[in-house]
Each structure stands twice: as structure tokens, then as C-alpha cells.
Structure 1
Amino acid sequence: MNRKTRWAAVALLGSGLVQAGVASAQDEGEGGDTGFFSSLFSGMDFSLGGFIRPEIAVATGDENPFNQGGNVYNGVTVARQAGDPFTAYGPVLSVPVLSGALNAIGLGSVTQPGTLLGDLLGAVPVVNGQLPIADQVARPVHSTDNTFNMMVLRGELEAGIRFSSDLSLVARVRAMYDPGVYDDINAEHLVGADGMGIVGGDPALYHHQPNFYEYRVEGDSTPNPLEWDGKNYQVYFPALFFEYNRGPLNLRLGNQQIAWGQAIFFRVLDVVDGLDLRRHSVLDNAQEEFSDKRVPSLGLRVGYQISDEWIADAYVQKFQPSIYGNPNTPYNVIPTQFTVHDLYAKGGYDDKISYGLRLKGNYGQWGFQAMAVRRYNPDGVFRWTASNVDRDLPNNNILGITENLLNNGVTGPSTGELLAQTPFEASPGGVYSANEWFHYAGMARLDAVDGLNAAITEFAPATSRLLAAPAADTQAAYNELNTFFMAAGGALRGHIAREYFAENVFGAGVSYVTEGTPGSFLDQLIINLEASYTPNRVYTAPSLSRDYLREDSAIGALVLEKYHRFTQAFPATYMVLQYMHRTKDDLFGRALKGYGGNVNAPAGGISGGANYVVFALQQPFPQDIYRVSLATLYDPRGGILVQPGIKWKPRGSITVDAFYSYINGHLGGNPNNNALSTADFADEFTLRVGYQF
């Protein structure tokens, strides 16, 4: 029995025991007897409801550049120039220097006339005493063109069983189905120079058609309890818990989501659960405040009403990480030239727990709260890892032939055996040029030069035997990268591991409700200030080094909320203005030290922290048949998201919800200096039509 099965069995066994108790109570009731169960379940009640809702998102922007079909270098011809490993990867390869260097390590005989390598070198035209090795490459993957970013049928069923005035069971099951009728890339059709496809990584994610819903980690294909997934469907319990109320005490035991804080877009005190980004990423209606995104977890939540004004809220739960979109799915944000090895199960994190305590209270017009949480950061961190793919470099180019002659598996490891000890495999669908490497490093908020050097130095001596060496500058990195892409017969795929680290998060908040002239704008204005501090938080290093970046992180947010009635003909308008400052990372938890890279330069980082401004409003019409909304998120470094929407209820059981998401991360300067450029491909119109029963 694996860990997930054990956790699920605990939850379902508890449910079964209570159901058995219900049956016993009913049996005793039929006989007219009284006893423990009949008294415990004397006030039993049952409720059932749910909805079914098709959802579509019509694309009005570009293809996702993080996927194979949206890669900006597909079909674009790029020049590649090899460098010389014996002259710090200069622009060309010098035969005398190469021969001298090989002689110095006792391998000079391989370049002598009459040898295969010597004859190959002698057959290539020499210009000014140097051997030019250069070519041109166009990424050999066709670009996709999608009309829809999402086509999903969603259903939800919620049952409530009240066994008595104190005890109840809440069960909510949710099902998603995506027919997958998109123009996408089937990885089976990607073929390398040796006629083979992608070898490394989980085949269900990297070797076939896109997998929309399965969350798979190393050593466990189903790491989430009470969740059952397939390539095109998902069924899970966002809630399955017992709730017990007795006087000031409230207990919830089972699978549940815990939401602390209520800011739109911003998560300052909302640190309990990670986010599930498989379903429409963060592009649902912003004013729903991540209600569909928090990852449920098995745990115990305890609330205690200390007084009329103060409440304590504590929890302990099984650690569940955030879930990113899978490779080549519409909202994926991890470049698919790289293979991710999630170590959630293999690293033993699936047996970890998180816990925390919050105190919240009011004193007149003032409100106060404070929290302390010990958790594993659900976002995780990434680093280079060995590919474990034993695949020789192809012999269709002089650089591959040279490497295979030097490492032929006779006197030492072969090139395939050496590459298996590095973070790379010579496979299709990877990175084809230094231009692509630098461009995508900037998009991923990584350092292109330091990333290359970390992959070399941390995986020596295998990398040094392949003649790789740390690059001193951008030009040397360009030459070295192109040398190995050419030697690979086209492309190299990178391999990265995802790990998780424990951290302490401390937070506090204060709010104040103003009083003014009744009906004035300053009357009943809610001012809320929240802040959190995490000492020694672990971030992904911009180099993807195993030596992770550690920073003391602080986050603060100021929120102004107001219901204001502008006219008696309409209900009050809800408005909110928010400002957030983050000292070390961006809105998505990425270290600011990885910002600023582009195709011509590695990341330089940004100073002064990150700032974000939100304005949102919601205006109901009379009888609440219509409700219009607007949400905007602005990054002063050059990004904006604008989301207008309208909700229509033609009947009590039918709701039509439509909204448009406009994202622009190129308002000025380098787009890799603002957070929103990551998603500015996802301009789209979303329509949801729901029937509630």
C-alpha cells in the first residue's frame, strides 16, 4: 500500500465508520430502542446540491511560448558558431592548439595523419591557420495555432449530512473533462539525429500527447489523496471532512482547503495551501480569490471562540505542493525544452506535515490578527539534476564524431555514459541554439551564463571529460552552448529536479473601519494592512545550482475596501484598491535576482523589491440579474492585467459568466523585468454557462 493509498484509506475509513453508525442508529430507531447512536444522530438531516458547467476560453493572443508549438524559435534560422574548449571557447577552433592540448594529456596520437580524427581535421579547409566550424539551424518543430485555450466540462456535487446538532459531514466532489481538441504537439513525432525520440522523464508527460490533468512525481503517479486523474479527466474531493461544533469549539477533520486572507491576486496571510494551476492557471475570475485553486489536504482544523471578539484558528495537515501545468498544456509555464523530476515522493516530502495558528479579533472599529506557520513551501525549488539518459552523441557531425572518438567506451566511459551523469540528454525538442538558451533563461527568470556554469561545475568530472568548461563571459557561453548543440546533432534537453524546504512564516494584520457622514465616500471605508515575514526562505537559484538562494523575505499589502451607493436606482458598488510590496521575490514567488536577462545578456537582477497595484469593482443591477465587474493588476515595471466581466442570471438555476483577460507585459523596457510578461500570451475571452441543482 503506497502513501497516497494509506492517506486516502484513513479518510474513507472514517467516513465509513460514521456511515455505519448512521445505519446502526436507523436500525435501533426502527426497533424503538434508545442508545448511544440513536442519541448521537437523533437530529440527522441530509442535503444535496451541485452544478454542471461548460467552460471555454477563446484565444485572442499568441501561442504559449513555453510549449513546443509556441516556441518563438520554431522555423527561425539562427547561426551557430562553435568555440575551442582549449582556448576558453573562442570563436573558432585552432588545429595547432587542439593538437598541442591533446598531446599534453597524452592523446596527441588521435590527431596524427592516418588516424580517423586526423584525416577528418585535415580534410576541412583551413582559413588563416584556423578551422572554422559553424552552421545554421531552424528549430524543426511546427508552430501551432489554437482557437481555444480551454474547453472543459465541469461538474460538482456537494452533500451535507447533519448527524446531530453537533456533528456533520461535508462532502464535495468535483469532476473535470477536457476533450483535448487542440492544435498541439505530440512528442512521439519529435525525432532526433539518431532517429530516436525523447528518452528521459516520465513517459506519460514527455513522450506522448499532452497530459492535461495527471500530477505525477518521481516514484508515485498519484500523489494526491482523494484525487483520480487521467490524461483528459480529473475527479477529486476539494472537501471531505467531519465538522464538530460544541459551544465555542469547532473541529474539522478530513480533506479540506484553508483560506486565510482575502485579497484579490495577493496572498500575504493566505499561506496554508498551495495552488493547483492545471485548471486555467490563475486566469479565472480574479474576484473569486483562488477559491478553485487551493490544493486540498488531509488535516485537522480547530477553531475556538475565546470571547465575542476573539477567535483562535489552528491547523495541522499533510503537506501537499502546488501543481503546475503539465508540458505542452495550454497554461504551462515551465519551458518544455526541460524535463522536470518532481521529488515530492522520492524525497520523502509526502510524509511531511505543516501546522499553524492564527488569532483574530476586533476592538471597536479596529481589527487585529496574527499568525505563525511552520510549513513546507508548496511552490518548491528547482535545480539541475543528472539526466540518467545513456545516449551517445550522434556521428552526423564533426563535433559529435570528435567527442565519440575521445570517449569511446573502451578506455573510459562513452559520451552517452558521461551525458547520463550531466543534466543533459541529446534528444529532440530541447534547446537548439545559444539564442534560444538565453531567450528562455530570461523568460524563466534565470541567469543564462551562471546556469550553464553551474551545470558544468556541479557535474564534473563527467562534464570536463566532455571538454566542457565554465564560460567567462556571454560570448564564451554562446560559443560553448552552440558547440554542444551542434555536437548533439541539433538539440540538448535539460533535466531539473523539484525539491521542497521547510520554513517559518510570521504574519500580522490590522484593520480599521472609518466613520463619516452617512452616505459619504469616507463612511464605512475598510482599511486593512497585512504583512508577513519569512526568515531564510529558500528560492530557486538563478543558476539552477544545488546551492539554493536563501533570503529573508518580507511581504506587505495595504487594502482599501468600500461599498458605496452612487444612485438609489442601483445597489451599492463594491470597490477595492490594493498595494503590495515584496522585498525578495515577485508575485509568483520567483527570486528578483533572476530578473533582467534577455537574448543578449544574462540576468542582472532588480533592486528595490517588487510592487503591484490592484483596483477592482463589482456593480450589481437591480434584482441582481446582471452584475458587471472589473479587475486590474499593474506592475510598475511594465506589466498590466485588465479583466472586465459580466454575470447574468436569466433564471435562478442558470448563470452565464463572461469575462475577458487582457495581459500586456511589454509596456516598457525589458519584459523580463516584470512579473506579468510570463502570461502575456494568454489574452482570452472566457465563457461559463452553469446550471445549478
Structure 2
Amino acid sequence: MTNSKRMAAAAAVLLGAATGAQADGGWLDDISVSAGGFVRLEVAGASTRDTNPANQLGNAFNGRSVPRQAYTPPALAAGLITWDTLPYNLSTDASSPGLRPMPYEENDVNYSILRGELEVGMTLTPDLQLIGRLRAIYDPGEFYEEFDADTLNFDRGGITGGDPALYRGRPNYFEYRVEGDAHPNPLEWAGENYLVYFPALIFDYNRGPLNVRVGNQQIAWGQAIFFRVFDVVDGLDLRRHLVLDYAQEEYADERVPALGLRVGYQFSDALLADAFIQKFQPTVYGNPNTPYNVIPVQFTVHDRYSEGGWDDEYSYGLRLKANYGQWGFQAMAVQRYNPDGVFRWTASGVDKNLPGGPLTLGGQVNALLALEGLTSGELMAQTPLEASPGGVYSANEWYNYSAWARLDGTGLVNALIHDFPAARQLFASPVETYEQSFNQLNTFFIAGGSGLRGHIAREYFQEEVYGLGASYVTEGEPGSLFDQLIINLEVNYTPDRVFTAPDLNGEFVKDDAWVGALVMEKYFRFTQAFPATYFVFQYMHRSVDDLFGRHLSGYGGTEDHSATGVSGGSNYYVFAFQQPFPQDIYRAGFALLYDQRGSMLVQPGIKWKPSGAWTVEAFYTHVWGSIGGAEPSETLLSTIDHADELTLRLAYQF
């Protein structure tokens, strides 16, 4: 059965159930069905009109001429000179400027989708239910400044490496594709502009203290705004709106569902055990040139999820929760494959010679290699580089984007040379200083015929995550601020966690990682005329990485120097509140995330229910990527500070 037929059959089952269709007589007479859903239009307008710098049309170097000078590689000079001493003036393009051929385009709209959801509950027996939630999303792509990669086909044959569905033509908004598998997520069907999947399709069995859920499901062990400590089971789907949805929805729309078994057992009113085993499904990042892509498009990603056999792996874990008076306790142990994955340099596999005639740098490299019976194309295919457009065009751009992605610009050069011997056959040499790296980069960008593309692999590692938590509910004068204040402390520990190395080497970075969070929440009624206001304050400390999982050793780079790293861990603070109005016709909300290193996100919002079926929501997200003179590459949020936007939602519920 084809994917489209399976999707149609599954939808028919749910839709049939939603209408209460059943045969007359027999056991079907005992089945009861409930159904509901909504249709919602979601639009986010860019308040600053900045374009995502990770995409081709948002690159700050577009249309900017950057001086470049080629130098004689030490490999051609018997090691008697260095990269920063002798200009290579024998070729006509020795001082070719770096000019990205794409224009810089501004966006008025970052996000525009039509979403529909249908949820069906079917009671099969007093103990057994079938629960299904079907979600469909459509993004026409008509409201963005789209980049068409085929417009570069005139330049060295265009972009030839990577999955053509992602790196050729117009953006692919929704397909999650990995090497060797164009459909890695079960119960999901997607195209360039649509996504249909089941966030939940489960059999739910309840009998006494036992609860068993089997099927496609999301497991949310933690509910916190922005923070995830115990919430380690599922990865996140970042294709639609990154992490910029309404913060107080606590990742409800982002968790990636997976096929699995979950068993809960209530031993007593005070003790609960919750265990799961689940097919491993990775975090899904935005595709190249889509509005919320976070991986710079100068690089081609090879996701090894299927090729590496991770699509046959499982994660499992156990959580215990206990209550004792005003106290609550919990503990967890999870063995999982980290869904975020890690990245490293990988061979491009693209056999494309350096371009140019005999008087160009690329042509002279080709002539020297021909004397040894080699071609630059066969050697380039064994390195992470591809002589194609849409990559990096200057050393300035290389270091700028290394800092933006929290990578070590100089270390990237040395790792590329160390891990791939073919790079040395192409006359690349290890470097010791920023200046040597800068000069070598420009030399090879010129030889590449203006610029080069890089290739990286995404891989996954198993890890154990252990967590402890305690909560306490205070008692005070009834109605006072300190009465019924809930204080919750959570800590998790991952020994030898594997991180992406700032130089993208194949050994990665292995570090013991601690994450802790303090959460205080309270309902407080200021006046009898209004319902109680919900307040929450949160603090998180991370020992070796940031909130996005990037190791802190990659922080601190700029266009003028490599990453220096930062010490002391990461510290984040959150304050949020919700204020319902009488009859809950209006509900105002506010969330703030503050990064102690010098960045901040604020998000005020309001929800209006003019009738029982209609809902209108609006929230504004503003990001300061650097405040108080902070270096942008030493803060959390400078990576997304282009995403200042007003989001509107119009929903009809049925």
C-alpha cells in the first residue's frame, strides 16, 4: 500500500468514527464515539523585516564585495614560508574579491499556515479506548521571499551534493528526509507545502491502578516554560515555528510523537510508577531556506538516521513519583538516543573539478595534480568540500558564520585537514594562527571559483539521563502571596554526553552534563472582580551547554578571531503570568526569558473568545540578541534575534 493510500485509509477510519458510523447490531452497538477539532489560520508578521541569516537571501554578505588575497601554500614551498607571508601573484585571480551572487531580501511575513485538527475518542470496552488525533498543515509559501536554488545552475553546474528535494529548486517546507529514507517518521506524510500526521494514535487501557498506552504518542514528563529537565523523552519538531510559538503552551505542539508502549501503575494514592519503551525518533530541524531554518545553508547536511541504523533503535525509562503531605518527590532513569544528534565534517562525495583555465588558481591546481595522475574532483569528493555555488565565499563570511553557529573557525580548518587526508593532497596545510587560517581559506575559496560548500553528517549517540526532583507546597495566611506557593526543584545528570565539537571533528566532545531548575508557581487573586492570576518564576543552570544544547566551548568567536569558549555554565531566568478576565472572554499573558550572559526574549499576548466556537489570539515576540554590551556570540538568543514578530491565530472549534 502506498503512503498516500495508507494516509487516506487512516483518515477514513477516524472520519468514519467521528460521524458515529457503525453497523447495526453486534458488538459495535456498545461502542461510543466522541469527536472534535478545529481549523486555525496562523500568521506571523516580521516587525523588523530582517531575514533569517541562516538562509541564502538573509546572508549579510550578499552583494557585499570582500577583499581576498591568495597565498602560496606551504605544501608548494617546501614549508619555507607560511600562509601570511607570500602573496600568490602568478594567477590572474590571485586577488579576486568575494562577492555572493544572491540579493539580500527582506520579509514581511515569517509564518503563514492553515492548520486543521481532528480528535476522536472511541470507547471499545469499559476499560479500553482508541484515541486518535490527526493534524494537517498547509503552507502555500506565497508570502515569503523564496530562494530558488536552480537559479544558480549557471554557476559551476549549481548545487550538486545532498538530497535534491532539499537542496535543489524552491524550499521544501515540511518533508523530513534522511540519507536512504524519504519517510523516516511513521504515521507522517509530507510534501513541499503540506504535512499530515498523527500526534496521537493509541489504544488506552485503564483497569484499576493500571494504565497502558500503546501506539504513536507524545510523552511529556515535565511542564515548564522554555525549560526541559525531566522532559527528556521526545525530541522537538522545529519545522513550523521553531521555539517561537506561545511559550506558555510548554512545547505541546513541538514534541515529536513516536511508536511506543507506556505503562503507569498507581501503587497507592501517594506512589506512581511510569515506564516507557519507544522507537527512537530524532528532533526535526527546519529545512534549508525555510523561515525558521537554524543550520546555515552554506553547508549540506547528511542525516545518517537511517543509514546508521538508528531508525531501528529504542529508548526506554522509568519515573517514580511520590507524595508525602506537602512534599512531593520524583526520580527518573532514562536510556535514550539524544534526539538532537551531533554534527561532524563528512566527505562530500561530489566529484567536481576546481574550475578555471590555465591562468586561474583552480586551473593551476588541476595542472599540478595531473602530473601525479590525479584530478581535483576525485580528491574534493574525499573531503567535506564541494566546488559549487551557494556556499562560503570569503574568510570573513567563514568566521562570521562560525561565530553565529557557535563554532571555532580556525579549528574547523584544522579538523577538515586532519580528518581527511585528501585535503593535504590538495595542498591544504594545518594552521597555527587566525591569520594563517584566514589566508588559506581565501586561497581555496578563490581556487573553488568564488566559493565552496561544506558537507556535514548528523549522527546520534546513546546516553543515560538520571533525574531527581522535590516539590513543596507552602502554607500561610489564606489568600496571602505565600499561601499555596508551589516550589519545585529538578536536576538531571548525563555522564559522558556527546556534543558537537566546535571544530566539527569526528571525535566530538564528551562531557558530564548537569541541568538544574527551580520553579515557583502560584495562583493569586488581586480582586474578587477578576479570576486568580497565575504567576511562575523559573531559574535554570546548565553546566556545559546552553538552552539549545550547544557546548559552551564554541562560544566567543567573531569575524576577527576564533571561538574562545566561556566558563561558568549557563544561567537563565523566566517570569510569566496569565490573567483571565471575567467569564474568560479575554485572557492576557506574558513571558520573559533572560539569559545572564546578555540576551532576552519577551512575549506579551492576549486571547479573545467572542463566541464558544471562535477564538482569536495574538502574541508579540521580541528578541534582544545582545544587551548591555554583550558579545553576540556569547549569548543564547543572538542566533534568533531576527525573529521579532507578531503572531495572529484565528480558530474555529467544532
Q: What TM-score, normalized to structure 1?
A: 0.89
Pairwise CA distance, 1:92 = 2.7
CA distance in 2, matches of 1:351, 1:192: 41
Match of 2:205 among 233, 244, 267: 244
Confirm or deny: 8 A CA contact 2:94 2:446 kept in the other structure: no
Name 1:400's counterpart in structure 2. Answer: 362
Name 2:42's counterpart in structure 1. Answer: 55
Q: How does 1:301-380 map to 2 (within 5 A)?
A: 301-380=262-341
Name 2:609's counterpart in structure 1. Answer: 649
CA distance in 1, matches of 2:600, 2:334: 32
Larger CA deviation: 76-85 vs 651-660: 76-85
CA distance in 1, matches of 2:255, 2:597: 28
Alignment-mate amino acid for residue 45 of structure 2: V
Deviation above 4 Å: which 4+ runs of structure 1?
none
Name 1:45's counterpart in structure 2. Answer: 32
Pairwise CA distance, 1:670 = 1.0
Match of 2:70 among 82, 87, 94: 82
CA distance in 2, matches of 1:584, 1:564: 36
- The alignment status of 1:580 with 2:567, answered yes or no, reads no
Superimposed CA distance per residue, residues 476-496 of structure 1 (whole angstroms, 9 cap, x where no aligned partner): 000000000000110100000
Confirm or deny: 8 A CA contact 2:622 2:645 kept in the other structure: yes
CA distance in 1, matches of 2:103, 2:121: 50
Name 2:250's counterpart in structure 1. Answer: 289
Confirm or deny: 8 A CA contact 1:82 1:93 kept in the other structure: yes
Pairwise CA distance, 1:12 = 7.2
Name 2:152's counterpart in structure 1. Answer: 190
Pairwise CA distance, 1:93 = 3.4
Aligned residues: 638
Name 1:93's counterpart in structure 2. Answer: 87
Alignment-mate amino acid for residue 73 of structure 2: P
SS at match of 2:302: strand
Superimposed CA distance per residue, residues 539-558 of structure 1 (whole angstroms, 9 cap, x where no aligned partner): 00000000110000000000
Pairwise CA distance, 1:515 = 0.4
CA distance in 2, matches of 1:532, 1:411: 56
Match of 1:520 among 461, 466, 480: 480
What is the CA RMSD across the aligned residues, in angstroms? 2.1
Alignment-mate amino acid for residue 63 of structure 1: T
SS at match of 1:651: coil
Pairwise CA distance, 1:448 = 0.3
Name 1:140's counterpart in structure 2. Answer: 101
Pairwise CA distance, 1:307 = 0.3
Name 2:508's counterpart in structure 1. Answer: 548
SS at match of 1:486: helix
Alignment-mate amino acid for residue 51 of structure 1: F
CA distance in 2, matches of 1:377, 1:94: 46
SS at match of 1:46: strand
Pairwise CA distance, 1:289 = 0.2
Confirm or deny: 8 A CA contact 1:338 1:495 kept in the other structure: yes
Alignment-mate amino acid for residue 290 of structure 1: Y
CA distance in 1, matches of 2:641, 2:606: 22
CA distance in 2, matches of 1:304, 1:12: 31
CA distance in 2, matches of 1:395, 1:135: 13
CA distance in 1, matches of 2:88, 2:477: 84
Structure 1: where are the runs of 5+ without partners?
A: 31-37, 96-120, 125-131
SS at match of 2:96: strand
Pairwise CA distance, 1:145 = 1.7
Pairwise CA distance, 1:138 = 2.1
- The alignment status of 1:229 with 2:200, answered yes or no, reads no
- The alignment status of 1:671 with 2:632, answered yes or no, reads yes
Pairwise CA distance, 1:43 = 4.3
Q: How does 1:352-501 map to 2 (within 5 A)?
A: 352-396=313-357, 398-408=360-370, 411-460=372-421, 462-501=422-461
Structure 2: where are the runs of 5+ without partners?
A: 75-80
- The alignment status of 1:64 with 2:56, answered yes or no, reads no
CA distance in 2, matches of 1:466, 1:639: 42
Pairwise CA distance, 1:636 = 1.2
Pairwise CA distance, 1:193 = 4.5
Match of 1:267 among 193, 218, 228: 228
1:275–1:313 Cα change, 3 Å: same
Confirm or deny: 8 A CA contact 2:499 2:509 kept in the other structure: yes
CA distance in 2, matches of 1:91, 1:47: 77
Pairwise CA distance, 1:309 = 1.1
Pairwise CA distance, 1:401 = 1.4
SS at match of 1:134: coil
Match of 2:528 among 548, 559, 568: 568
Pairwise CA distance, 1:135 = 2.7
Confirm or deny: 8 A CA contact 2:212 2:261 kept in the other structure: yes
SS at match of 1:272: coil
CA distance in 2, matches of 1:134, 1:94: 9
Alignment-mate amino acid for residue 666 of structure 1: S
Confirm or deny: 8 A CA contact 2:69 2:87 kept in the other structure: no
Alignment-mate amino acid for residue 57 of structure 1: A
CA distance in 1, matches of 2:46, 2:342: 31
- The alignment status of 1:300 with 2:261, answered yes or no, reads yes
Pairwise CA distance, 1:345 = 0.4
- The alignment status of 1:507 with 2:495, answered yes or no, reads no
Pairwise CA distance, 1:651 = 0.2
CA distance in 1, matches of 2:424, 2:23: 75
Superimposed CA distance per residue, residues 573-622 of structure 1 (whole angstroms, 9 cap, x where no aligned partner): 00000000000110011101111111011111100000000000000000
Name 1:659's counterpart in structure 2. Answer: 619
SS at match of 1:401: helix
CA distance in 2, matches of 1:46, 1:60: 45
Pairwise CA distance, 1:464 = 1.1
CA distance in 2, matches of 1:305, 1:630: 36
Name 1:200's counterpart in structure 2. Answer: 161
Pairwise CA distance, 1:91 = 4.0
Name 1:160's counterpart in structure 2. Answer: 121
CA distance in 2, matches of 1:192, 1:633: 45
CA distance in 2, matches of 1:245, 1:43: 17
Name 2:77's counterpart in structure 1. Answer: none
Alignment-mate amino acid for residue 82 of structure 2: A
SS at match of 2:180: coil
Alignment-mate amino acid for residue 48 of structure 1: A
CA distance in 2, matches of 1:367, 1:641: 31
Alignment-mate amino acid for residue 74 of structure 1: N
SS at match of 2:97: strand
Q: What TM-score, normalized to structure 2?
A: 0.95
Name 1:690's counterpart in structure 2. Answer: 651
Alignment-mate amino acid for residue 560 of structure 2: N
Alignment-mate amino acid for residue 80 of structure 1: R
Larger Rg over CA atoms? 1
Match of 1:592 among 537, 541, 552: 552
Pairwise CA distance, 1:42 = 6.9
CA distance in 1, matches of 2:444, 2:58: 24
Larger CA deviation: 391-400 vs 682-691: 391-400
CA distance in 2, matches of 1:209, 1:59: 21
Pairwise CA distance, 1:402 = 1.2
CA distance in 2, matches of 1:92, 1:689: 63
Identity rate, percent: 61
Confirm or deny: 8 A CA contact 1:42 1:164 kept in the other structure: no
CA distance in 2, matches of 1:250, 1:42: 25
Pairwise CA distance, 1:267 = 0.3
Superimposed CA distance per residue, residues 450-486 of structure 1 (whole angstroms, 9 cap, x where no aligned partner): 11110111101x1111100111100000000000000
Name 1:102's counterpart in structure 2. Answer: none
